[in-house]
Structure 1
Amino acid sequence: MMQFSEAAAIAEAVQAQTLSAETLVTQVLAEIERYDARLNCFTTVLAEAALADARQVDQAIAMGRSPGSLAGVPFAVKNLFDIQGQVTLAGAKINQVNLPASQDATAITRLKQAGAILVGALNMDEYAYGFVTVNSHYGATPNPHNLNHMSGGSSGGSAAAVAAGLVPLTLGSDTNGSIRVPASFCGIYGLKPTYGRLSRAGAYPFVASFDHVGPFGRTVRDIAMAYDVMQGPDERDPVCSGRSPDLAVPQLDRGIEGLRFAIADDHFARGLQPEAAAAVQQVAKALQVVQRITLPEAARARAAAYLITASEGSHLHLPRLRDRLMDFDPATRDRFVAGAMIPASWYLQAQRFRHWYRDRVRAIFQTVDVILAPTTPGVAPPLDQKTLTIDGQEVPLRPNVGLYTQPLSFIGLPIISVPIWLPETLPIGVQLIAAPYQETTLLRVAAYLEAAGVTTAPIAPLAALPA
């Protein structure tokens, strides 16, 4: 594997000219070619463009200019982000006939402006509607820590590529948990910022009223660096706020003194498998948390999120459902068809409830700064598993993996999933949840847990994979 596998270390070495960006990118491309046949993270590899960008970074440094805080850092993006000159697949066969994107997504542009180097696009559930990244068109992306298990979704390729050490940073999207679920299953950090904090311009939509974009990484500093450079208003995204950037990197060493914590109970304490319960307790012990709080009507919030997702998603795809129904992934098609039949009155009622629920949850943050909750009910299931057992009942796996993520993205709260490793099992995530625009607080807490050795994101042992 690469000598430098973290974004911060790469940028430092490239800036100091102890490592050339071109040499690093060449090595990254070689490792993608060697391992991705088994991992199936990448749907597009941009070798020629990446090497050209790397040479530009090296030339700028040789001339005494700084390319930016992410100088020479290779990154990749979920294939729903527009990449100039490439067709934006969004995990779909139908999109293959679309014209190539005329410009990069804003998030990509901002990472490139900071010196990062785009090396490719990554696999996902079709149209971001899933938690498994088992795609009938582009194949499944397995978990790098155990290829018989799921990577999660819908940003599974993004999470797996980081967990495997193929790239140190990736971008994903999160509507109902699509950053946090694969971060949990793959044992890495995944940040879903506040709704509207990072621009979604050039990211293929799913549910406009609660789509988010955010980064994956193997260290908190890497996540914070990517988050910092992507901030700022964007006229291309009408919900991207005009707030000034709130830089997280300088705050990572501030510790947790003075912060108030609580553990989410009720809905977030039901259906837990032993690993998930143990992970939450491990984080709670490290933070000395004993207080418990209830997010009112969280189960109804999840049901309302489902209704809005199904309604908005099916409406977006209605022309394709009429004209190219059989070209959809069957797992996606059936849910879009069902969503198209939801009465408008149900959708409106779900939106009214959403506003009520948002106000009640935000009131909790008058007395608590950070809430702990499980990210997923358990560790990554086997790739062929179809059901989960929750509270003694067998339920379909695909919709229920988001049991603890849906009631939160529904109201746009910032959340980071942090990775916990327990003996003799796959990794699992714990959600740190804060009030809107408190990403720096979450990253401070995540940095504290990382420094204490409570959370860690080791690279999967790819040397064991067949070449």
Structure 2
Amino acid sequence: MATSTPTSASEIAKAVSSGRLSASEVIEATLARIVQHDPVLNAFTDVTADRARAKAREVDAAIEAGKNAGPLAGVPFAVKNLFDVKGISTRAGSKINRDLPPASRDATLIERLERAGAVLVGALNMGEYAYDFTGENVHDGPSRNPHDPTRMTGGSSGGSGSAVGGALVPVALGSDTNGSIRVPASFCGIFGLKPTYGRLSRARSFPFVASLDHVGPFARSVRDLALAYDTMQGPDADDAACTARAVEPTAPLLAENIGGLRIALAGGWFQTNLFPEAVEAVARVAKALGAARVIDIPEAERARAAAYVITTTEGASLHLDRLRKRPNDFDPAVRDRLIAGAMVPATLVDRAQKFRRWYRTKLLEIFKSVDLLIAAATPCVAPKLGQVNFVLDGVEMPVRANIGIHTQPISFVGLPVVAVPVPLEPMPIGVQLIAPPWREDIALRAAYALERMGAVATLSPRGL
């Protein structure tokens, strides 16, 4: 954005609501920054400039008329291109979906953000059908890391991570099935929230694995993350998983003392397969929060395996017709995983689901004695684009299969997580703050405390 334009959502909303800046000025500065930097980042697949200008004029008119334009007045945001945007085909990172008719209505979360005064500026690059951890889309090209454009953003919400990390927008939406919010947050050095399963509506977003899919925001600060999250809360009859919980505001709680929280490190599986930078990041966060206790999470490795089984079989079921009719229009890596999923025996799926229920019970028991768990978000900083393997302790490991090694056992049972960025050199890396179900407020309060202490922070993009 222009130097005179704030880069945080809360500051933009304050400036616009007070009349110090117009929403139109903010949006023009945002569109100019996208034009300037997106050719490097490749974060956007669609820029909705006309729509954004029209919405900004609405916000300005409301303020001129003395009305409250909302808590996100004039704040630009963008969404992963699996969210329906009226007038645009919902491509979900694929070639096939481009043949769909344009969406006739926005996704619920877009509607809620715009009712709060936010302004949609476009749709963002992503891994095909969200089955991706790298951010390398074969149809649209890879999204690129704002701290080093030769590196991955992570996926599948790679464009979201790139757009927020590159300060093109202060807020973006993504989805997380096995780690697709937390991985880009980690690699791009920003904050990301994967809420409790069912907390935020997925209505009018393209699914991947219905029993695992979450949606949530990215932001450059904890306050912005909480403001966006609070705006989107609330039941929605259009999403069967999101019909029961009332709005539970978190932004007013951020400054509450966290001294009474029982905080521990996730042990066992979560302390294995880590590069030195991930070990250092976890240690910094644990020290800042005064956490020394380590709690072993039983059978986390099996949870990851079961998550793979459920992911690949549910995903295959969703795409069977496309696999039959247009196999050559898939990313070959995605296609082959889906075909493999279609051949998994039903007995294994049944075992995975039964184990899932057992594992959730065990984790809920752990949360009787602890309020927050700390774990690495990714095993390493962002790999180079195109990198196939990395070597840890002399062992060669496939990059794509192991980026989400520490996120899958958490989303598998729907726990809320805030990914916080530790600003290491030369690249940032994220840490997961994992809370009990429906306690996003705990993870956000801890993240805010870390941010105030300077233990975590979003840096200015280094690669632009």
- TM-score scaled by structure 2? 0.98
Aligned to 2:454: 453
Aligned to 2:159: 157
Contact 1:270 1:391 in 2 (8 A): no
Contact 2:86 2:105 in 1 (8 A): yes
Aligned counterparts of 1:309 and 1:129: Cα–Cα separation in 2: 9
1:72 pairs with 2:45: no
Aligned counterparts of 2:319 and 2:393: Cα–Cα separation in 1: 34
Change (3 A) 1:391 1:176: farther
1:190 pairs with 2:183: no
Deviations 1:332-372 (A, max 9, x none): 11111111111111111100000000000111000000000
Aligned to 2:418: 416
- Partner letter of residue 302 of structure 1? R
Matches within 5 A, 1:116-127: 116-127=118-129
> Paired residue for 1:179, among 178, 181, 184?
181
Aligned counterparts of 1:392 and 1:297: Cα–Cα separation in 2: 25
Matches within 5 A, 1:312-331: 312-331=314-333
Aligned counterparts of 2:394 and 2:238: Cα–Cα separation in 1: 47
Aligned to 1:369: 371
1:169 pairs with 2:171: yes
Contact 1:388 1:400 in 2 (8 A): no
What 5-or-longer segments of structure 1 have no aligned partner?
none
Contact 1:148 1:383 in 2 (8 A): yes
Aligned to 2:219: 217
1:239 pairs with 2:205: no
Aligned to 1:85: 87
Aligned to 1:141: 143
Aligned counterparts of 1:67 and 1:83: Cα–Cα separation in 2: 22
> Paired residue for 1:334, among 333, 336, 339?
336
Number of equivalenced pairs: 462
Aligned counterparts of 2:23 and 2:313: Cα–Cα separation in 1: 45
Aligned counterparts of 2:336 and 2:460: Cα–Cα separation in 1: 36
Cα-Cα RMSD: 0.9
Aligned counterparts of 1:34 and 1:148: Cα–Cα separation in 2: 18
> Paired residue for 1:298, among 290, 297, 300?
300
Please state whether the residue corresponding to 2:261 is helix, strand or coil.
coil
Task: Tell me the CA shift for residue 21 of structure 1.
Answer: 0.4
Please state whether the residue corresponding to 1:150 is helix, strand or coil.
coil
> Paired residue for 1:288, among 290, 298, 320?
290
- Partner letter of residue 305 of structure 2? A
- TM-score scaled by structure 1? 0.98
Aligned counterparts of 1:445 and 1:195: Cα–Cα separation in 2: 20
Aligned counterparts of 1:92 and 1:99: Cα–Cα separation in 2: 14
Matches within 5 A, 1:45-56: 45-56=47-58
Please state whether the residue corresponding to 2:248 is helix, strand or coil.
coil
Please state whether the residue corresponding to 1:190 is helix, strand or coil.
strand
Task: Tell me the CA shift for residue 327 of structure 1.
Answer: 0.2
Task: Tell me the CA shift for residue 461 of structure 1.
Answer: 3.7
Aligned counterparts of 1:348 and 1:115: Cα–Cα separation in 2: 45
Deviations 1:364-383 (A, max 9, x none): 00000000000000100000
Please state whether the residue corresponding to 1:368 is helix, strand or coil.
coil
Deviations 1:223-270 (A, max 9, x none): 000000100000000010421111001100102121000001110111
Aligned counterparts of 1:415 and 1:391: Cα–Cα separation in 2: 29
- Partner letter of residue 437 of structure 2? P
1:349 pairs with 2:351: yes
Please state whether the residue corresponding to 2:210 is helix, strand or coil.
coil
Aligned counterparts of 2:395 and 2:321: Cα–Cα separation in 1: 37
- Partner letter of residue 153 of structure 1? G
1:437 pairs with 2:438: yes
Contact 1:130 1:399 in 2 (8 A): no
- Partner letter of residue 448 of structure 2? A
Aligned to 1:273: 275
Aligned to 2:13: 11
Please state whether the residue corresponding to 1:49 is helix, strand or coil.
helix
- Partner letter of residue 39 of structure 1? L
Deviations 1:278-332 (A, max 9, x none): 0000001111111000111000000000000000001100000000000001121
Contact 1:255 1:445 in 2 (8 A): no
Task: Tell me the CA shift for residue 142 of structure 1.
Answer: 1.1
- Partner letter of residue 415 of structure 1? V
- Partner letter of residue 186 of structure 1? C
- Partner letter of residue 163 of structure 2? A
- Partner letter of residue 228 of structure 2? A
1:401 pairs with 2:429: no
1:426 pairs with 2:427: yes
> Paired residue for 1:389, among 388, 391, 397?
391
